[in-house]
Structure 1
Amino acid sequence: MDPSAPATALISNDIVLFGLIAATLGAVFWTASRESGPWKKFYTYVPALLLCYFIPGIYNSVGLIDGANSSLYNPVASRVLLPAALVLLTLTIDLKGVLRLGPKLLAMYAAASVSVMLGAFAAFWLMGVLHPETVAGDTWGGMAALAGSWIGGGANMMAMKEVFAVDETTFGQFVVIDVGVGYVWMAVLIFLAGRANAIDARSGADTAAIESLKTRLEDYQKEHERVASLSDLMIIVGVAFGAVGLSHAIAGPASAWFGANVSWARTASLHEPFVWVVVLSTFIGLGLSFTRARTLDGAGASKIGTLFLYYLIACIGMQMDILALADRPWLFALGLIWILVHIALLWGLAKLLRVPFFYFAMGSQSNIGGPASAPVVASVFHPSLAPVGALLGALGYATGTVLAYIVGITLRAMAGA
């Protein structure tokens, strides 16, 4: 946390904030574990994971905490816990089974990127008809920056801000749209993931490949399951954070070298250390899945990885400020139209291809959320599927800048700027 920032929130100490988040997650899981009474009925309709996201968001919105100025998300959750979770969840993966998921998953990912672009054009045009003031000035530039985030990630968003010289105020407002609209959609996906079986049954989607992968993973875990000893837990934590440290050690020099010597590095965001951390931690875990390290899942490796993901989603949620759009409330309508067009187009393709809901969710979240949140949504379907979300999310770093630039120059022309 920036020590020079004013402490406007009631809780400004990150250690106290961490305790609050830990206690909140503990309370959610304690109530969710009740086998009888009102809590059981409550959690029949409201997933525990949804509360882990929204309760910290409420804390932030009412001024109890200041998520934007906390160090818990960056660097702790996104730079440490996320890659550690990716290592632990990836080392349990059945790579051959993932590959059997087929080309339709990639098709949904590509369609999601295109639908985000088309959604930007449709939202800009429609708001120009309904409320022209919303798309006046440099709104098109803010939308280009948001397109960078919704196709790629934060690095792509910053790249578009610099390319199109977006005003700081406008950029800040679209950061709020990114969190307010994008993360609410993430929460909806988490909610619907718990009903994926019913959705797939109604659509007639072929879920055989996913179910086969889940079954093999569960059978493997049962075969090697054991009561974890202190040595097991030490090894799991050592593997996870050792890999995180190695990833960061390589990411710094690698990103600097690519940024200085490779002309297209910035287009693919290879000058950003975080891109390398995500990719390296994923591939370290993937390499370990071919070794005896995979048997660590029997001692709880994937459970610890999932625990890290729950802390990550709580830290994502605590950045949401529901009240921050008060100055330009119509921007929320713009973002809502944009994402609804994306959802409608992608859902139409999903129905046409008759793909499982998991493919739809991953295609959307790997674009809108990127590698920081796509693994969270994937893990709701099954913890071992988190790396699928990470890999698809990382693809956005390579395509986000180019596609967002196309969005920007098109919107600029539509605005007559």
Structure 2
Amino acid sequence: MITDGFLYLGVLLALAACIVYLTQRRSYRVFRYVPGFVLLYLGAALLNTVGVFGDSESVEATGTAVQDALLPAMILLLLFQCDLRQIIKLGPKLLLTFFVASLGIVVGFVVTYLIFQVWLHPEAHKALGALAGSWTGGSANMVAVQGIVHAPERIFGYVLIVDTVLYSLWLLLMFGSVSFSDRFNRWTRADTTYLDARTGADAEKDGAQKAPIDLASLMALIGGSLFVSALATWLGGQLPELGAVVNSTTWAILFVSVLGLVIASTPLGRTAGSSELAVVMLYVIVGIIASESDFSSLAEAPLYLAAGAVVLLVHLGILAVYARLARVELFSLAVASTANVGGIASAPVVASAFNRQLVPVGVLFALIGSFIGTFTGLTTVQILSAL
């Protein structure tokens, strides 16, 4: 049993390193369907379930300190690529489609909570809000919401399973939608001429100009992000708490989110290695959260899977109605939905299935989600708690 905080952190980092190596260097079929974050969650939770991690002040203090330090730094680095100038180029109709997709997710959670509330855990609204953060942003937004609202670890484990299973099925559906896109577009009477491939070419050029990762860029990113994290945490502690959601962590996340958007529009936003370092931090945070979970009460997981399915069905219905009324083509709907539910890893892939020149549209959609996902998740928590 591990009761030393440093050894505990070392085991989590070693486990994360093994998983990243296998997913990046080995082409096992399972890695196509199960993300590395989920494998890390399952592995760390299993270690805790069998008693490898013991209850001790050292372990708890180490996990809390590292998570609190890395969370704002991770959000800051993830937003370095979110250039508002490129997002504005998408045009009002594409942007509206993305926000309708996000709204459909939130409405789906409200409808689902009203249906399933009687059977759910009293604090399930917190975990569902974290899932809403993931389904309107990404995994980083999920852990950010979790870090603010402190959903029970057991319930959070359920929604992570929901996130993995339903995301995989949703991705298959979005890929399959390519085959009937022409018929769908005729049904909605959509005009596809407003999709400007030149926006994609501009974004691809920007991406190609990034310098290679070197020691100077790594030190600047590590030192700068951790300093901003410390400063944001201190500032958050000086500001008043407003209700159950707006606390010191919320203020810190808001501060780094705004700063990240500002930096993204400057040359600093193109510093090499920002996304890679952010993913490293995300692995550490997910490992810490998972190490506080166990598999002793998985009997409730099917209930949360059913709830997640209802969310996506409501989301799909809203998109269908919107497409018919606004005459929107399937490409925009599929990529906007994938950017919400799947995030940066899957939205460009689905976009490429429709048209390779429009891949950056998927990237920009996902980047919008990476900014709004945390706040959408927190809003969902507030709405569900009021119900």
Q: Deviations over 1:228-255 (max 9, x none)?
A: 1x3222212222112212211221112x
Q: Is the 8 A contact 1:118 1:342 kept in 2?
A: yes
Shift of 1:179: 1.5
The answer to which of 342-351 and 148-157 deviates more is 148-157
**Which residue in the other structure is 1:122 paired with?**
115
Shift of 1:361: 5.2
**Which residue in the other structure is 1:166 paired with?**
none
Q: Deviations over 1:123-178 (max 9, x none)?
A: 257xxxxxxxxx5xxx78555666666668458867xxxxxxxxxxxxxxx83563
Q: Deviations over 1:165-205 (max 9, x none)?
A: xxxxxxxxx83563132111222366468768724524639
**Which residue in the other structure is 1:411 paired with?**
none
Give the aligned residue type for 1:315.
I
Distance (Å, rounded) in 1 between the aligned partners of 2:153 and 2:211: 44
Change (3 A) 1:116 1:304: same
Segments of 5+ residues of structure 1 without an aligned counterpart are: 1-9, 126-134, 159-173, 260-264, 365-376, 408-417
Shift of 1:391: 2.0
Q: Is the 8 A contact 1:119 1:338 kept in 2?
A: yes
Does residue 344 of structure 1 match 2:313?
yes
Q: Is the 8 A contact 2:125 2:381 kept in 1?
A: no
The DSSP-based 3-state class of the residue aligned with 2:43 is helix
Change (3 A) 1:75 1:60: same
Distance (Å, rounded) in 1 between the aligned partners of 2:274 and 2:149: 34
Which of 268, 289, 292 is equivalent to 1:316? 289
Shift of 1:11: 2.2
Distance (Å, rounded) in 2 between the aligned partners of 1:155 and 1:231: 31
The DSSP-based 3-state class of the residue aligned with 1:91 is helix
TM-score, structure 2 as length reference: 0.71
**Which residue in the other structure is 1:243 paired with?**
228
Does residue 175 of structure 1 match 2:165?
no
Q: Is the 8 A contact 2:131 2:163 kept in 1?
A: no
Which of 262, 269, 274 is equivalent to 2:249? 274
Does residue 91 of structure 1 match 2:56?
no
Which of 371, 378, 401 is equivalent to 2:343? 378
**Which residue in the other structure is 2:376 paired with?**
395
Change (3 A) 1:217 1:278: farther
Distance (Å, rounded) in 1 between the aligned partners of 2:126 and 2:22: 40
Q: Deviations over 1:261-285 (max 9, x none)?
A: xxxx327x33x01111111111111
Shift of 1:399: 5.3
Q: Which runs of structure 2 are paired with 1:11-410 in the superposition (5 Å)? A: 11-34=2-25, 39-65=27-53, 70-71=60-61, 74-77=64-67, 79-99=68-88, 100=90, 101-124=94-117, 141-142=122-123, 153=145, 175=152, 178-188=155-165, 191=168, 198-199=175-176, 201-202=178-179, 204=181, 216-228=202-214, 230-254=215-239, 256=240, 259=241, 265-266=242-243, 269-270=245-246, 272-296=247-271, 299-324=272-297, 329=299, 331-352=300-321, 353=323, 354=330, 355-357=332-334, 359-360=336-337, 363=340, 378-381=343-346, 385=366, 388-398=369-379, 400-401=381-382, 403-407=383-387
The DSSP-based 3-state class of the residue aligned with 1:319 is coil
Distance (Å, rounded) in 1 between the aligned partners of 2:170 and 2:55: 26
Q: Is the 8 A contact 2:74 2:281 kept in 1?
A: yes
**Which residue in the other structure is 2:355 paired with?**
none
The DSSP-based 3-state class of the residue aligned with 2:343 is helix
Give the aligned residue type for 2:64.
N
Distance (Å, rounded) in 2 between the aligned partners of 1:193 and 1:339: 11
Give the aligned residue type for 1:237.
I
Give the aligned residue type for 1:13.
D
Change (3 A) 1:14 1:190: farther
TM-score, structure 1 as length reference: 0.67
Segments of 5+ residues of structure 2 without an aligned counterpart are: 134-144, 186-191, 324-329, 349-362
Change (3 A) 1:31 1:11: same
Give the aligned residue type for 1:391.
I
Give the aligned residue type for 2:276.
K
The DSSP-based 3-state class of the residue aligned with 1:378 is coil
Distance (Å, rounded) in 1 between the aligned partners of 2:19 and 2:69: 23
